Structure 1
């Protein structure tokens, strides 16, 4: 039977929905409720925090990059849970102009598809009764998006809360909780978002503090009662819609520098019979000699460039592997396959030299958005001509790129982008992060 679900969303980024999400996950877990977490959109970092808070794996759902079969299969992984709790991205209705595989990527797409009511986290700082206009607009914009109510955030005082509640009552908006302003309940950030969960020095205690905060100021029973079961959920088969494994035995770099690989890809590859062989470049480990493919995910190699440049066993093993078998790098992994990486201080670090790529973080510029790619050359078992969906998110600048392009890469509107990736011999790489295979 499908568990009931809810979506924690907001009018915009920066309203505090991640704090609410983590606090709810831990508070409900502490009550013995098995909560299956999800994250809307292309985000590597939040799902790791969800897992730390709930004790269960969190998966990404993306209506632009994923077709209905893959979405339903991933949501089907929540079978056996008591409740589904999905965290939105940006504002509730924010997506791209042109539909992708099954939608625009907006959080509202998930609410429509699965019937999960939205809890809107509203930052009420700087306003009182006027906050109701914001909530009313979000509640009424699309009648196909079910609306559970609001959690008020950054409330300045009891008087402020009374005024805001007065406005919400007049508008017919249910208030599920009101969170006082707390400057200390903030997770550290860096240029790609929150600091990774594995790097947080006292994460369990911090999440426990969030849970205590939510228990004190949010009606958890009302939150649970607002959840609704999905008629759509359960229709998908495990593994449906995902890209096939690019090789049988895949050596994957996994450490603080290389951690950005979507869980549904790994799970799908394992389900299809692939063998995953993890190794750590930061520990100067070489990839397994019997691997058919080495895959370097994205992450933060720019923060560890000196360590990587000095990792002789890792770099030597990578070069030896590329003599006979394929090597692929995504984003940060792509930079490591290149000739050199310039860190933000302007220091140049020699990388693997398998591609003629030099990248720099001293010349920062954000590259962000969905991507659709058609491969010009194979990436291991992914053949030339394969159509892939994914995204790009980095601050690196390409200083030089001397190899043939790996793919025709376009943004969500179909416009060509200059970051085509590279191919040289058996080495391939791209700033493009793979999410799914396109029809």
Structure 2
């Protein structure tokens, strides 16, 4: 497939030594401030994350994409990166976890933020949470500057600075090692966006989001050296003539879309549309059923556990999904998988009946974190591909299965982790209906 676009805007990666350092705050402040100056800003998120890209879109006015050096084949990774740069003046990517955090794999395939910065020549704006440190923060920055010869640290943004004296001490240490300070954010708890167990509360649920973003832009104008940051941006996005993106599950696809079902990766949707598929949204929370005119149905992940009672009472939705699944394919990812199951127990221990199309019961009362890449080999052909096809995705949920693990005759796939450790059978399939806890990426 072909897509138009200018292929070579400069880029910048906002990264940090660890999670909860302030990457999202700095990223959104920078995006909003530059967009307010009239620049065409495009966002990207390194690694598997379906919440932050929606905030990027709210800040810039344009869709954001995920870039994943482990889960995406090279051709797909470059296609998605080229999408990010289309008609852009600058691409601002946000890292996940720490800059070098990933799996043990070959160079450039670890899933770490650094892989993306190196591949596209994007300099790194390093966000340092300096609470509890002063000159020692310079040693951290110096270590990051020297750890990987593939990348370049353009400068640092100091976050959670306690006082003018604290700032002077930190800046003195950084001056000693020759790393420029491109911004300083004082300690301010009101800057944090609301969170829940999978990260930030979704953009669509943050009622005062526009005001928050504008406040962050004001903060960026006052506290970041925007001109120096712009001047530091560089890189070389690939020229792609034949875009390689995920194929659609059908040509007219019903997609559940509301506060309970919203975790669909932007590059998946873009790939489906680019292949000519028509996407028809419906809202289970509004008790809407998938359109009978569609030839496939997709239930993304989200937060069905927060709406379990309402979903259980949505008879038009549940009956419509059951009727659809009698003759046409349905796939559910994570939250969608749970709703296709027999029941969902919420955090209060109340069990709610679900669609009953797959033999799985799940619980959020017995919470257990499941996190990591999943490499799946399909056991049988279906909506996701032929038997034996290899798919890569990511799992991140706190739900537990109350039913026994699936046997091979009803399992969706045989799954390993990113380093090849066997995890056994995963997901379910019954007739034309399938589902699993992992979200497909590549």
TM-score w.r.t. structure 1 length?
Answer: 0.96
SS in 1 for 2:133: coil
Deviation of the 1:99 alpha carbon: 4.3
User: Which whole-Å CA distance do the structure 2 matches of 1:431 and 1:239 have between them?
Assistant: 28
User: Which whole-Å CA distance do the structure 1 matches of 2:258 and 2:89 have between them?
Assistant: 32
CA deviations 1:119-166 (Å, max 9, x no partner) are 000011111111100000001111211210100111111111111110
Instruction: Work out whether 1:234 is the aligned partner of 2:243.
Output: no
Alignment of 1:253-272 (within 5 A): 253-272=256-275
CA contact (8 A) 1:286 1:313 kept: yes
User: Which whole-Å CA distance do the structure 2 matches of 1:326 and 1:344 have between them?
Assistant: 30
Alignment of 1:336-347 (within 5 A): 336-347=339-350
Alignment of 1:371-382 (within 5 A): 371-380=374-383, 382=385
Deviation of the 1:243 alpha carbon: 2.5
CA deviations 1:207-265 (Å, max 9, x no partner) are 111111121111100000001131xx13223531x232121221110111000111111
User: Which whole-Å CA distance do the structure 2 matches of 1:76 and 1:420 have between them?
Assistant: 33
Structure 2 counterpart of 1:324: 327
Deviation of the 1:419 alpha carbon: 5.9
Instruction: Work out whether 1:348 is the aligned partner of 2:355.
Output: no
SS in 1 for 2:285: coil
**How many pairs align?**
432
Structure 2 counterpart of 1:433: 439
Closer, same or farther: CA 378–121 of 1 in aligned 2, 3 Å: same
User: Which whole-Å CA distance do the structure 2 matches of 1:359 and 1:88 have between them?
Assistant: 31
Deviation of the 1:205 alpha carbon: 0.3
User: Which whole-Å CA distance do the structure 2 matches of 1:144 and 1:426 have between them?
Assistant: 47
Alignment of 1:42-81 (within 5 A): 42-77=48-83, 78-81=85-88
Structure 2 counterpart of 1:16: 22
Structure 2 counterpart of 1:247: 250
Runs of 5+ consecutive residues of structure 2 not aligned to the other structure: 1-6
Alignment of 1:21-420 (within 5 A): 21-77=27-83, 78-99=85-106, 103-230=109-236, 233-237=237-241, 239-240=243-244, 242-380=245-383, 382-401=385-404, 404-418=410-424, 420=426
Deviation of the 1:15 alpha carbon: 0.4
SS in 2 for 1:333: helix
> RMSD over aligned Cα, in angstroms?
1.3
Runs of 4+ that moved beyond 3 A = none
CA contact (8 A) 2:318 2:355 kept: yes
CA contact (8 A) 1:389 1:434 kept: yes
CA contact (8 A) 1:70 1:236 kept: no
Deviation of the 1:418 alpha carbon: 4.5
CA contact (8 A) 2:251 2:277 kept: yes
CA contact (8 A) 2:413 2:425 kept: no
TM-score w.r.t. structure 2 length?
Answer: 0.96
User: Which whole-Å CA distance do the structure 1 matches of 2:177 and 2:384 have between them?
Assistant: 56
Deviation of the 1:79 alpha carbon: 2.7
User: Which whole-Å CA distance do the structure 2 matches of 1:356 and 1:381 have between them?
Assistant: 19
